[in-house]
Amino acid sequence: MLVVQILLVIFARSTSLSDIILSALFMAGIWRIFEKSGIKGWWALIPGAREYQLACCAGRESEGPVYSLASAGSIALQVISLLVSFNSTDVSTVAIMIVIVSLVLWLVSFIYSIRVYAGLIDVYGVRKRWMWLWALPYTSFIPALLWGFGKKYQPAWKVEDIRTEMARLATHGSASVMSDGLTVNLTERTATEFFKKKVLLRDIHMAIPQGHMVLLLGGSGAGKTTYLNAINGYEKAKAEVLLNGTDLYKHYKKMQYEVGFVPQSEMMRGKDTVLNTLMDAARLRLPKEVSSEQRKARVNEVMEIFGLLPVKNNLVEKLSGGQKKRLSISMEFISNPSLFILDEPDSGLDGVMARELFEQLRKIADTGKIVIVITHTPDRVIDLFDDVIVLAKDSARTGRLAYYGSIKEARRFFGRDKMEQIVKSVNRKEEGGDGLADEFVLKYAKEVA
């Protein structure tokens, strides 16, 4: 109980004169940092709001609300603790709860402060060793004052400039509708989290011709699967998606047979044979007016295309990894779709098997189909692709289009030879990337405007 009392006193008691002076110096430095970043300096005087604005300056606006609420919550609990009366021999349940919640809030605030300070270090282009001064409570005023008042310390961009530029580019135009091909004009795809609207994807426009095999790249959380789900109509977005001139959203029942989507996970019954699995898929995927004979003929045709005829009577559970992948793809290809989408079809396959699979997909594209593929090992099969789509998370953690075009032009645009290097360039630094997502999103938007 004594420990709890001591902790409660630490949280509840007013600060000493030295603490007040250090806080004043810290706020003075933050005031000037805000002004350098195009934010009103007086926000530095408002606890809670100060942390949010600091996150904005660091390019971590999406983390600002949590950081702000944790800091404001800690202060609120300090005020409440002053109102809680207890004697030296008895600590009330309320007091204990205040200490526990305060410790949790302090920990959350500390973790997010480290993230924000790391962002500030990137924005100001200084060495990471500055983190030691920022992280320690009695030295944080030093970098705040030096960066705030020092002329040689200048942010790479101003907050309002980035927001204005992103908002302007969000309405830069749309792709022209193609009568033969896929046209995507996606304004935004949103979701609701904790009663708050979150934008997952924004401003993605492109037109993909028939016969093209397209690679979809992007780091973790960039919205690749979300984008594919928006294209195939599984999760509708605020968008216009047209396949060969027909609106997929408005005529979904009619168009559902024109789109094949192979998810990352394989959904097949192990005790069924290959033939029965494909016959069941044919009953589901082909229109009802297709006769039994026509279904059988289509199943045999697909098994021949994907090399499954020799194992048509084998149980699914007895197939090799590569055979299971081909069967999974065959199930979606039964309907002979015009648009074929595959989410990591080479997952778990070695180089030789993956190459054979992608060569088969290349042949499918050459028949006039559009094939869009996500793969985490693109460089081993990059010669088989026509184009590449690169999605990236901007500073607001929203998936944006950083590039769409030919493989050759992608290398020029990003200044990198390998596709995996391109992904690294748009990934955030804390994810092992170069943190250039905003730069390339803006660059691409300007090129196509």
List pLDDT tens digits, range 236-277: 888 899 999 899 998 888 888 889 888 877 777 878 898 998
Q: How many C-alpha atoms does 48 have within 13 Å on its Cβ side? A: 8
> Is there a single domain that holds both residue 98 and residue 247?
no
> Is there a single domain that holds both residue 149 and residue 185?
no
> Is there a single domain that holds both residue 132 and residue 206?
no
Residue 357 has pLDDT above 60, yes or no: yes
Whole-number Å distance between alpha carbons of 443 and 201: 18
> Is there a single domain that holds both residue 196 and residue 51?
no
> Is there a single domain that holds both residue 232 and residue 371?
yes
Q: Say how many C-beta atoms besides its own lie within 10 A of residue 247's C-beta.
A: 15
* 14 alpha carbon, distance to own chain's centre: 43
State the residue range of the domain holding 274: 166-448
Whole-number Å distance between alpha carbons of 53 and 60: 10
Of 8-17, 97-106, 266-275, 307-316, the range with the lowest mean pLDDT is 8-17
Tell me, yes or no, whether 161 lies in a domain.
no
Tell me, yes or no, whether 20 lies in a domain.
yes
Q: Which of 156, 182, 202 is the last residue of a domain?
A: 156
> Is there a single domain that holds both residue 151 and residue 205?
no
Are 261 and 270 in contact by the 8 Å Cβ rule? The answer is no
> Is there a single domain that holds both residue 116 and residue 178?
no
Mean pLDDT score across all residues of the chain = 83
Q: To 10 degrees, what angle do helices 49-57 and 17-36 make?
A: 40
Per residue in 149-182, pLDDT (tens digit) is 998 898 877 776 655 555 555 545 566 666 778 9
Whole-number Å distance between alpha carbons of 380 and 65: 42
Q: To 10 degrees, what angle do helices 437-448 and 407-414 make?
A: 120
444-449 LR contacts (CB < 8 Å, sep 24+): 444/401, 444/402, 444/403, 444/404, 444/413, 445/169, 445/172, 445/203, 445/401, 446/169, 447/413, 448/172, 448/173, 448/205, 449/169, 449/172, 449/173
Looking up residue 301, the CATH number of its domain turns out to be 3.40.50.300
Sheet harboring 370-374: ordered strands across? 246-247, 238-243, 181-193, 196-209, 399-406, 387-393, 213-218, 370-374, 339-343, 259-262
Q: Which of 107, 130, 156 is the last residue of a domain?
A: 156
Given this model, what pLDDT does residue 3 score?
A: 43
Tokens at 148, concatenated: 């705030």
> Is there a single domain that holds both residue 150 and residue 183?
no
Residue 351 has pLDDT above 60, yes or no: yes
- Across the range 42-69, mean pLDDT stands at 85
Whole-number Å distance between alpha carbons of 219 and 376: 9
**pTM given for the model:** 0.67
> Is there a single domain that holds both residue 152 and residue 196?
no
- Across the range 296-300, mean pLDDT stands at 91
Tell me, yes or no, whether 281 lies in a domain.
yes
> Is there a single domain that holds both residue 41 and residue 88?
yes
**Portion of the chain with pLDDT greater than 90, in percent:** 24
> Is there a single domain that holds both residue 199 and residue 145?
no
Tokens at 86, concatenated: 């207890």
Whole-number Å distance between alpha carbons of 383 and 370: 16
Given this model, what pLDDT does residue 5 score?
A: 44
Of 32-36, 195-199, 231-235, the range with the lowest mean pLDDT is 195-199
Whole-number Å distance between alpha carbons of 73 and 93: 19
Q: Which of 156, 188, 208 is the last residue of a domain?
A: 156
The structural domain count of the chain equals 2
Number of H helices and number of E strands within the chain? 17, 10
Whole-number Å distance between alpha carbons of 361 and 342: 10
> Is there a single domain that holds both residue 239 and residue 283?
yes
Given this model, what pLDDT does residue 88 score?
A: 45
Q: Say how many C-beta atoms besides its own lie within 10 A of residue 407's C-beta.
A: 16
